[in-house]
Amino acid sequence: MYVHPELAPVLEQLPPLADPYADIEGTRAGLHALARHFPADRGGVVSERFAVPRPDGSALAVEVYRPAGVPGALPVVLQFHGGGYTFGQAPPGEDRTAIELVREVRAAVVSVEYRLAPEHRCPAAAEDCYLAVEWAAGQAAALGVDSARLAVSGHSAGGGLAAAVTLMARDRGGPALVHQALVVPDLDDSAGTGPTPADADPRLPDGPFVRQGWRHYLPEGSGAYPYAAAARADDLRGLPAASIIVCGLDPLRDTGLAYARRLTDAGVPVALHYVPGAWHGFEMFAPESRLARDATAHWTGRLRAALHGERG
H/E run at residue 149: strand 145-155
Which residues are part of the catalytic machinery?
156, 250, 280
- Strand pairing of 179-183 and 242-247? parallel
Q: What are the two backbone dihedrals, phi and then psi, of residue 19, each rounded to the nearest 5 degrees? A: -80, 105
Residue type, 3: V
Cα–Cα dist 259/254, whole Å = 9
Non-local (6+) Cβ contacts of 37 within 8 A are none
Cα–Cα dist 10/272, whole Å = 25
Task: List the beta strands (DSSP E) in 189-291.
Answer: 242-247, 270-275
> Are the C-beta atoms of residues 192 and 220 closer than 8 Å to each other?
no
